[in-house]
Copies of this chain bind each other. A is one copy, B any other.
Amino acid sequence: MEDTRPIILVVNDDGITARGIKFLIEVASQIGKVVVVAPDSPQSAMGHAITISKPLRLDKVELYQDIDMYQCSGTPVDCVKLAVNQVLHRKPDLCISGINHGLNNSINVLYSGTMSAAMEGAIEGIPSIGFSLDDYTAQADFTHCLPFVKDICLQVLSNGLPEGVLLNVNFPNIKNIKGLKICRQAKAKWKEEFDERLDPNKRKYYWLTGVFQLMDEGEDTDVWALKNGYGSIVPVQFDLTAHHAMADLNNWVF
C-alpha cells in the first residue's frame, strides 16, 4: 500500500543529538513520515550562513528507531538544501526546525540558525515553521510545548501558508501555557558587552556577551505574549524590501 502520509523534514541548529530535535521528531512522527537532516555539531547563531568555501559531508545515522536521519557538517541552511536535493529529491510537505534551546523572538530571529533553516525551507516553497523554547539548558524539557507544536503543524499542513511567509513560534518556559498569539516582532537590540581576557601568552581575546534591550512595549509583540504566558507566532517574510521607504528615497537626487 502506498504511504500517503505527509513527508516532514526536521532540522535544527543545536545539532542532531540535542534534546529539542528529539521532541520535535516525536511530534512529527505522529503526523507524517519523518526525515531528519541536522548539523553534526551545534550551530547556534549561524544566521543564514551557507558553506561555500569547503565541501560538505552528509552521513546517515541511526539514533531513533524507524527514523530516517542524516547528519551534515554544514550550517542549518546547508541541511535544508542537502535534504531537498540529495536526500528527498523532492520538496517535503512541511519543514520544521528546532525545538531550539532558547528564544528566537524579536531581533533574535536574525541571528538564529533555527529560523534561517525554516526560512530556507520557505524560500524553497515549503511550508516552514521554526520552534523555540525559553530554556537555554541542554536538559530543557519540551513536553508542555508538544500539544501546541502538533496543533500548529496540523493547521499549516491543512491551511498552507501565504507565499513567502514562514512562522516563528516561541514558547514560554511555564507548564501552563495560556494559548497562542499571532504577534509582530518586537523592536529590540542586544547591547554588547565584550568580556576581554588575556590568554596564557598575554594576548587579548574577547567573548561576545550582551544584554537584551527591549524598545517596544506593544501588546501585539512576541515579547509581550511570552512575558504574559502565551506562545507567540510571528509570520516572517524574506522579502526584506522596506517598501514604505521607497517613495522617500525616490526624492533623493543622484
Contact = CB atoms under 8 A, between A and B. Distances in A.
A1 interface: no
A29 interface: no
Interface residues of A, number: 81
Interface stretch (A2-10, A49-57, A93-101): A49-57
A157 to B, nearest CB: 12
Contacts of A56: 194, 205-208
Copies in the complex: 2
* Chain A interface SS verdict (over half): mixed
A249 interface: yes
B44 A82 contact: no
Interface stretch (A16-24, A31-39, A108-116): A108-116
Nearest to A73: B205
A86 B240 contact: no
A229 interface: no
Interface string A165-185: 100100000000001101011
Closest 4 CB pairs of A and B: A47-B48, A47-B47, A237-B242, A235-B245
